[in-house]
Amino acid sequence: MAMEKRDLHNEVKKMKSLLETTSRLIWEHPEVGGNEKESADYFRKLLGGEGFKIVNEEHMENAFYAEYGSGKPVIAILGEYDALPGLSQKVTDNKAPVAEGEPGHGCGHNLLGAAAAIGAIAVKRYLEAEGISGTVRFYGCPEEELLSGKVKMIYYHMFDDCDFAISWHPMSANMVYDSGYLASASAHFEFRGRSSHAAFAPELGRSALDAVELMNVGVNYLREHVTSKARIHYTTDSGGFAPNIVPPLAGSWYFVRAPYIADVKDILKRIRKIAEGAALMTETEADVRIDYGCCEMLENHAYGDLAYQNMKEAELPVFDDEETEFASRLVGTVTKADAEKAQKLYDTEGRPMTWKLNDRNLYQINPLTASSDSGDISHIMPMCVVTTSCWPAGVAPHTWQATAAAGCSLGEKGALSAAQIITGIAYDLYNRPDQREAILTEFNQKRDAYVPMYES
Ligand SMILES: [Zn+2]
Ligand SMILES: [Zn+2]
């Protein structure tokens, strides 16, 4: 008898413990972007062992795809596995790193990768059992937190023959994003001055640190005169050696984000001018290095509808008393006002975790204001994004609380649900030409109307 969508969901459920083992293992060995060798190898081994063909990219050690099946459509399930610096944390309700200063999975990419892999395995079993035309690929995408991995993978043609992408992310809500992600760019600014004794001969020195500070002041004034949805943030980790030496070298690292990549480029040009101005004021020299950039997501309502329908059909995470209690204690570490605001937004009915399927249009009032290199994927093929409830409402990603939730059953339940949703979407894409057509028609229209991504 032919397998139905329900059977794929059950296939996922049968792999619950494999999902948990995978997620924990990645969580226990957090590796930051560019360094995810063991995590990538783990997924290669897992999927290779399941009968997938592993295709590596020679220019990117930690990127690969695992493929099964033949013919069209080719469905790309996007996996990630990079951690974040400094977010090491035990599964506890107080800030307690496993290892001080070490990385941790504060964005839940251990869950993301595990659910994507389990979803891909279930889809492979389906293709195998039915013998239908179609290919499934799990994409091992490194460096998401650097917003660069998928951009490079596109550059190296790793997605060239794919038709549809499915992505998900751990969150505090069960929802679908038709659009989202701010376009972004990363840039390093380095100033070179002249050292001198800061007291004996200050007139001979030219401070690179002064230039960094003046540049930052200038950028902070710029904020008022850029598109209101832009976000500009920076860090500085080099400001000289000691107060009695005029700093000859100093630099800062900027992220610029805005709703459209064209805005990002425009803001970056203006920041460059500010850097040049700071150099002029301090008689130093400025060097600018643009690291990478990524686009906002190209919206696709037809795909969003299909993903949402599949959220309705899958089993959403249900949390037991012990989990709810732990979630409450995590919520207790953020301000009451923030928690209440999030609980209202996600309509949790006073619970710390979201249980229900959120409103279809929640993404419009709760836009994804982070950025992701997945945005670029949505410009080369239709991509959907679903999120499931993996950490408490009020807990933000990139926090120790999120690391804690991602390392236990709170996050794993959300991931199991995501894996089911992924299989359901894939099932429909293989079996419903009308849906494929609708999604592709919208994709082609939106893409044709779009300002080119990488114009000079
Ligand atoms: Zn993140
Ligand atoms: Zn993330």
Distance 117 CA to ligand 1 centre (A): 19
What does the alpha-carbon distance between residue 383 and residue 307 come to, in Å, rounded to a whole number?
10
Distance 148 CA to ligand 1 centre (A): 12
Instruction: Identify the pLDDT of residue 452.
Output: 54
Distance 213 CA to ligand 2 centre (A): 31
What is the CATH class of 183-294? alpha beta
User: How would residue 456 be classed by pLDDT, with cut points 50, 70 and 90?
Assistant: very low
Instruction: Identify the pLDDT of residue 455.
Output: 45
Distance 168 CA to ligand 1 centre (A): 12
Distance 372 CA to ligand 2 centre (A): 8
Ligand nearest to the CA of 171: 2
Mean pLDDT estimate for the chain? 96
Distance 229 CA to ligand 2 centre (A): 20
What does the alpha-carbon distance between residue 354 and residue 175 come to, in Å, rounded to a whole number?
10
pLDDT tens for each residue of 1-58? 799 999 999 999 999 999 999 999 999 999 999 999 999 999 999 999 999 999 999 9
* Portion of the chain with pLDDT greater than 70, in percent: 99
Instruction: Identify the pLDDT of residue 411.
Output: 98
Stretch among 136-150, 214-228, 377-391, 441-455 having the lowest mean pLDDT: 441-455
Distance 354 CA to ligand 1 centre (A): 20
Residue 295 CB burial class (10 angstroms; 0-12, 13-18, ≥19): buried
Is 311 in contact with 421 (CB distance < 8 Å)?
yes
- What's the average model confidence in pLDDT over 392-404? 97
Cα dihedral 70, 75, 80, 81 in deg (nearest 10): -30
Alpha carbon of residue 345 to chain centroid: 21
What does the alpha-carbon distance between residue 221 and residue 231 come to, in Å, rounded to a whole number?
13
pLDDT tens for each residue of 115-154? 999 999 999 999 999 999 999 999 999 999 998 999 999 9
Distance 371 CA to ligand 2 centre (A): 9
Residue 393 CB burial class (10 angstroms; 0-12, 13-18, ≥19): buried
- What's the average model confidence in pLDDT over 435-444? 98
What does the alpha-carbon distance between residue 230 and residue 444 come to, in Å, rounded to a whole number?
27
Instruction: Identify the pLDDT of residue 413.
Output: 98
Ligand nearest to the CA of 398: 1
Residue 14 CB burial class (10 angstroms; 0-12, 13-18, ≥19): exposed
Fold equal for 5-177+305-448 and 183-294: no
User: How would residue 238 be classed by pLDDT, with cut points 50, 70 and 90?
Assistant: confident
- What CATH code is assigned to 5-177+305-448? 3.40.630.10
pTM of full prediction above 0.85? yes
Distance 160 CA to ligand 1 centre (A): 26
Distance 44 CA to ligand 1 centre (A): 22
Instruction: Identify the pLDDT of residue 320.
Output: 98
Pick from 185, 190, 130: which is nearest to 371 by CA? 185
User: How would residue 450 be classed by pLDDT, with cut points 50, 70 and 90?
Assistant: confident
User: How would residue 182 be classed by pLDDT, with cut points 50, 70 and 90?
Assistant: very high
pLDDT tens for each residue of 240-299? 889 999 999 999 999 999 999 999 999 999 999 999 999 999 999 999 999 888 999 999
Check whether 193 has a pLDDT greater than 90: yes
Instruction: Identify the pLDDT of residue 1.
Output: 77
Distance 170 CA to ligand 1 centre (A): 10
Is 284 in contact with 270 (CB distance < 8 Å)?
no
- What's the average model confidence in pLDDT over 231-243? 89
Is 62 in contact with 80 (CB distance < 8 Å)?
no
Distance 62 CA to ligand 1 centre (A): 18
Distance 169 CA to ligand 2 centre (A): 6
Instruction: Identify the pLDDT of residue 451.
Output: 65
pLDDT tens for each residue of 358-384? 999 999 999 888 899 999 999 999 999
Ligand nearest to the CA of 84: 1
Domain boundaries along the sequence of the chain: 5-177+305-448, 183-294
* Portion of the chain with pLDDT greater than 90, in percent: 93
